[in-house]
Amino acid sequence: MSSTKPILRALAGEVLSTPPAWMMRQAGRYLPEYRATRAKAGDFLSLCYDPDLATEVTLQPIRRYDFDAAILFADILLVPQALGADLWFVTGEGPRLSTITDRAGVDALRPTDAIHETLAPIYQTVRNLAGALPGHVALIGFAGAPWTVATYMIAGRGTPDQAPAHALKDGDRATFAALIDRITDATVEYLSAQIDAGAEVVKIFDSWAGSLKGRDLDDFAIEPARRITAALKARHPGIPVIAFPRGAGTRNEGMHAATGADCIALDDDVDVGWAAAHVQSGGCVQGNLKSSHMVTGGDALVAEVRRIRDGFRGGPHIFNLGHGITPDADPDNVALMLDTLREDARATA
């Protein structure tokens, strides 16, 4: 792990004059080169499981832009597939899975140590990337958080309010907790294998954390993230972990200590001034430009980049979006974002 890489320096708590930057979903449909490679693969899962093509799409935004990190191209639902769920994608509608609705479904999942056979191509992609990235660019591995993954496994698809998962949680908490435990154990193994293959940072995406409240947030978002982080750091001392409890709001205060994560990624509903005072005091923060600015661009984009950059200037910060870039984004706006972020550095060069 090289201390010269800006992302790793920020994750270690260093305050940099210009924050390092990358984007969630930076390899994606807004790029014409991605669309061409996706067409070559034939379908989304084939792209994920082809190490050569997955390496190619991960590298595409690095070639086009001077990002400080590349994030492995994969999908959060590969873990449930490796545990035995049927997984397929419906064009224009998204993922579909076989469902788990009771304890028998949890018990029928494959043993945790069996996941690596299915996920071996993903580890090969990580190895490919570790040998292909420019020297200053860090490699980020990732997984979905147990709660978010569970919502898909229970409903069989994405839902607007995660109601099926809440229903199982509220109706049979023991079964739901058993499912969370199984996903947590598998996530530790999956991320550990990514680190063994060359990932220098890992990120835990809890995209639906905001629908958990009170004790449920503690039990099914914060505690699994703490378990995963502790297990990874025990196996891989010094590995930085980014946690993304999207929608956690004011519960982000104290999240570094609660999860053990080195960095808390903030969605775009979190106020920068509040976060600088109440979250950044605990360690590095990441975020949190609205993805819509990548579509609209212009003076508003420039002003927001400056506002976020300057608002977090007093502590360690990684610049990013508050969620993933959308397919309708203009690639030129990504360049404008990075140019604006780095304007002070250019002026003094």
CATH number at residue 278: 3.20.20.210
- 182 lies in some domain: yes
HEC per residue, 100-145: CCCHHHHHCCCCHHHHHHHHHHHHHHHHHHHCCCCCCCEEEEEEEC
- Residues 101-108 have a mean pLDDT of 98
Is 333 a residue whose pLDDT tops 80? yes
Query: pTM higher than 0.85 for the full model?
Result: yes
CB 284 within 8 A of CB 263: yes
- 158 lies in some domain: yes
Known catalytic residues are 25, 29, 38, 75, 152
Please report which confidence band the pLDDT of residue 100 belongs to, taking 50, 70 and 90 as the band edges. very high
Q: Which token pair is 97?
A: 């899975």
The total number of structural domains that make up the chain: 1
Is 1 a residue whose pLDDT tops 50? no
pLDDT in tens, 158-190: 999 999 999 999 999 999 999 999 999 999 999
CB 2 within 8 A of CB 9: no
Is 346 a residue whose pLDDT tops 70? no
- Residues 37-51 have a mean pLDDT of 96
pLDDT in tens, 285-311: 999 999 999 999 999 999 999 999 999
Range of the domain at 19: 6-348
- The whole-number pLDDT of residue 344 equals 74
Residues contacting residue 236 through CB under 8 Å, at least 6 positions apart: 192, 195
Strand, helix or coil for residue 201: strand
- 1 lies in some domain: no
- 343 lies in some domain: yes
pLDDT in tens, 194-251: 999 999 999 999 999 999 999 999 999 999 999 999 999 999 999 999 999 999 999 9
Identity of the amino acid at 186: A
C-alpha distances out from residue 125 to 63, 121, 152, 269, 336, Å: 17, 6, 25, 33, 30
- Residues 75-79 have a mean pLDDT of 98
Distance in Å from the first CA to the final CA of the chain = 27
Run of H or E residues at 150: helix 146-155
Please report which confidence band the pLDDT of residue 92 belongs to, taking 50, 70 and 90 as the band edges. confident
Please report which confidence band the pLDDT of residue 91 belongs to, taking 50, 70 and 90 as the band edges. confident
Is 330 a residue whose pLDDT tops 50? yes
pLDDT in tens, 113-156: 999 999 999 999 999 999 999 999 999 999 999 999 999 999 99
- 307 lies in some domain: yes
- 88 lies in some domain: yes
Q: Which of 139-143, 259-263, 274-278, 345-349 has the lowest mean pLDDT?
A: 345-349
Number of Cβ atoms within 10 Å of the Cβ of 103: 14
- 245 lies in some domain: yes
DSSP at 21:
B
**In which order are the strands placed within the sheet that holds 201-206?**
69-71, 138-144, 201-206, 241-245, 263-265, 284-289, 317-321
